[in-house]
Amino acid sequence: MKWLKKRNPFYINSTRTPAVSQMLFFLMYAGYLICRTVLFTTVRFENDKVRMTRHVLWMCFFVAVFIVVFLCRYTIWQMLVIALLTAVYVKIYWTTSKQEYLFLHSIMIVFAARETEWKTILKFTLVAFLALIGGTIFLSMTGEISTVEVYRGDRLRLSLGFPHPNSFAFYLLCVVLMWVLLRFEHLKFYDYIAWMAIAAFAWWGPNSKTTTFSVLLLIPLIWILKKWGNSLLKSRLVRSICLCIYPFMALFSFLGSYFYQADSVLYTKIDKILFTGRLGLAYEFLIKYPITMFGQRLKLVGSVVAAQKGTTAYILDNCYMRTLMNDGVIAFILMLAMFVFLVYRAIQMNDKGMLAVLMIMAVYSVYENYFNRVGFNILFFQLCFQLFRPVKSGSSDLQVKGKSMKEHTK
C-alpha cells in the first residue's frame, strides 16, 4: 500500500505552484466571503437578482476543487479522504433538494488552503470581516440598503443592513473570536476592555443576548486559561470535559427538544428564558420530520420573511439539531468528530486561545446555526493543517510558540 503515500499524480510540480496556489486561494476565498456577506444582508429580501450570487459561490467551490487537485501537495490517500467527504456532502446536497450546500463548499475551501499559512488566513479573514461589517453599516446608514426594524417588546433592535440583529451581532462575535486567536499570547488589559465594550454594544445595539453573553463568558474563560491553563490541562478530568463538550451539547439539544413539554409551564418558561424558545422550535421539527441518514429538505421560514408575508415562521436555529434534521445522521456525526478532533489538537498543542474559542462555539451552537460552515468558522481551516500533515512545506502552520508539533507531543 506504499502507493497511497505517494504524491497526488495530478499535482503540478513546479517551483511556482505554491505561490500560485496561495494567490488563487485568497482570490477565491475573498470572493466567497463577499458573496456570503451579500447573502447575509437585507439586499436578499429586496432584489431577486442577488440570489444569483449563489452561482458565484459555486464558482468559488469549483476553483477550490481545481486548487485541491492540481495545486496542493496531497498524497493519494489524502485525496481519497477528501473525495469521500465530498461524495458524502454531494449526496446530502441532492437528498436535501439542493438546500444544504454550504458544508460541501466549506470542505473544499478548507482543503484548498493547503499551501497557505494559518496566521495569514486568520489575519486576512479578520481584516475582511472588519471591512464587510463596516461596508454593510455604511451602506445601511446612507440608505443604499434597508435596515430591518425588529422589536423586542417596545425596544428597537439595530440590524444596520443585516437581515436580523442577531446576524449583525454574530459578525461582531466572529471578530472577537479571531481577535483571541491572533493575540492570545499578547493580550493586555485594553483587549478585555475592548471586548466588554463590544459586549455592551451587542446588548444595547442589536440587543443580542447570545452574542453578549458569549463575549462575557469568553473573558473570564481566557483569564482562567492564561493564569492556570497549563496546570488545568494536565488534569485528565479537565481534558475529558473539554473533549466531551460538543457531544454533551449535542445530546442536551436532542434530549431537551425530544422531551419538550408544551403543556408544562415550568419547561416552557425555562426554554423561553434560557434558550429563547429554541428547544420548543426544535421539538416542532422533531414531530414533523423523521431523522434520516443523509438529511432531507426542511420547510424553513425566517422571522423577517414571515413578517413580510404574514405567514408563520419556521425556525431551527440550534446548530446541532439543524445538522441532525437537515443534513442527517452521517453529517451530524462527522461534524461532532471534526469539532472533537479540533479540541483534541488544541489540547495537544497547548493552544489555549484555540481551546477557549472552541468552548464558546460549542455553547453558542445551542442557540445559532452558523459555526458549521467555513464562511463563519475560521477554525475549520485547522482541519487542513491538523488532519493532514504537510508533505514538504516548512510546517509553520503546525508551530505554536516557536515549538514544533513533535516537541508538543512529547
Average pLDDT for 14-42: 95
pLDDT the model gives residue 43: 83
The predicted pLDDT at position 276 comes to 85
Please say if the pLDDT value at position 61 is more than 80.
Answer: yes
Give the residue, 153 or 347, on which the prediction is more confident: 347
Q: Terminal CA-to-CA distance of the chain, rounded, Å?
A: 29
Q: What is the per-residue pLDDT for 304?
A: 67
pLDDT at 315 (0 to 100): 87
291-307 pLDDT, tens digit per residue, is 999 999 999 887 766 66
Mean pLDDT of the chain: 90
Q: Residue range 60-83: average pLDDT?
A: 96
Task: Give strand pairing partners of 400.
Answer: 403
Q: Which residues pair with 301 in a beta bridge?
A: 314
What's the mean pLDDT in 68-91? 95
386 Cβ contact list (under 8 Å, min separation 6): 341, 342, 345, 398
Residues in contact with 244: Cβ distance below 8 Å, sequence separation at least 6, in sequence order: none
HEC sequence for 180-215 = HHHHHHHCCHHHHHHHHHHHHHHHHCCCCHHHHHHH
Phi and psi at residue 368, to the nearest 5° = -135, 155
Task: Return the C-alpha cell found at 180.
Answer: 483571541
The pTM of the full predicted model, rounded to 2 decimals, is: 0.91
Band (406; pLDDT cuts 50, 70, 90): very low
